[in-house]
Amino acid sequence: QKEVEQNSGPLSVPEGAIASLNCTYSDRGSQSFFWYRQYSGKSPELIMSIYSNGDKEDGRFTAQLNKASQYVSLLIRDSQPSDSATYLCAVNSGGTSYGKLTFGQGTILTVHP
């Protein structure tokens, strides 16, 4: 079992729709959770962080965390063509692993006009 697993994709949604990206993780001790966006040929860009159960909203983005189910998701409302990118879920276990992020393989999102 992979430590961090994302829905395989690619995911294609029409402009204006909600894009839903999912991620599960295996380490129950994980403490910090991040979503990164990566455009082709560029480095990952942090778009959301979440540390406690529940929802966290920032503009069109909502991150959801359920530690009991070891599940974290990212919703993108009113999707735009500029949201087309690879989305990476990353998990940090904290403690002696401070600084180590474990990434999923990424989900490619395409928003078509």
Partner 1 sequence: ETGVTQSPTHLIKTRGQQVTLRCSSQSGHNTVSWYQQALGQGPQFIFQYYREEENGRGNFPPRFSGLQFPNYSSELNVNALELDDSALYLCASSPGDGYTFGSGTRLTVV
Least distance from C-beta 34 to partner 1, angstroms?
5
User: Quick one: 36 or 76, whose CB is closer to partner 1?
Assistant: 36
The first and second tokens of residue 8, run together, are 């395989």
The owner of tokens 């402009």 is: 15
Least distance from C-beta 11 to partner 1, angstroms?
16
Q: Give residues 12-71 in contact with partner 1 (rule: CB under 8 A).
A: 32, 34, 36, 42-46, 49
Measured distance CA(65)–CA(30) in Å, rounded = 11
Strand order through the sheet with 61-66: 4-6, 19-25, 71-76, 61-66, 54-58
Residue span binding partner 1 (CB under 8 A) among the ranges 13-21, 52-60, 62-70, 104-112: 104-112
Q: Confirm or reject binding of residue 72 to partner 1 (CB under 8 A).
A: no
